[in-house]
């Protein structure tokens, strides 16, 4: 799991590309990203499945913010991004959320 940050000079946003490998997706047919940036909506950011079995999604996020997020595999299991900028306890459960800092 990983994400790439690309800061735009023309706007106060960062283009973030999220990726999860086939192995990390654990044979999932669908992967979504849920987080502060999409109100934890399971259907808002569905990742595209690539030919090699990995998943990818890109979005523009406002800079100078931190966002909590997780990957949702097959609408059932949540996974953190273990290369996230930080982790914080979820206010909804006893699990940690991944954090991206922009």
Please report the domains of the chain, with CATH numbers, ordered by start residue. Answer: 2-101 (2.60.40.10)
Q: Report the half-sphere exposure of 99 (CA within 13 A, side-chain side).
A: 11
Angle at 46 between CA 42 and CA 49, to 5 degrees: 145
Q: What is the pTM of this model?
A: 0.93
pLDDT at 68: 97
pLDDT in tens, 27-83: 899 999 999 999 999 999 999 999 999 999 999 999 999 999 999 999 999 999 989
> Would you call 38 helix, strand, or coil by DSSP?
helix
DSSP secondary structure string, 65-87? -EEEEEEEETTTEEE--TT-SEE
């Amino acid at each position: 799991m990983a994400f790439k940050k690309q800061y735009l000079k023309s706007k106060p946003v960062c283009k973030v590309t999220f990726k999860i490998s086939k192995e990390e997706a654990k044979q999932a047919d669908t992967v979504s990203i849920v987080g502060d940036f999409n109100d934890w909506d399971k259907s808002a950011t569905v990742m595209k499945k690539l030919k090699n079995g990995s998943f990818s999604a890109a979005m523009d996020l406002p800079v100078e913010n931190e966002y909590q997020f997780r990957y949702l595999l097959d609408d059932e299991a949540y996974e953190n991004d273990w290369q996230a900028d930080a982790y914080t306890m979820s206010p909804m459960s006893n699990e940690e959320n991944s954090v991206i800092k922009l």
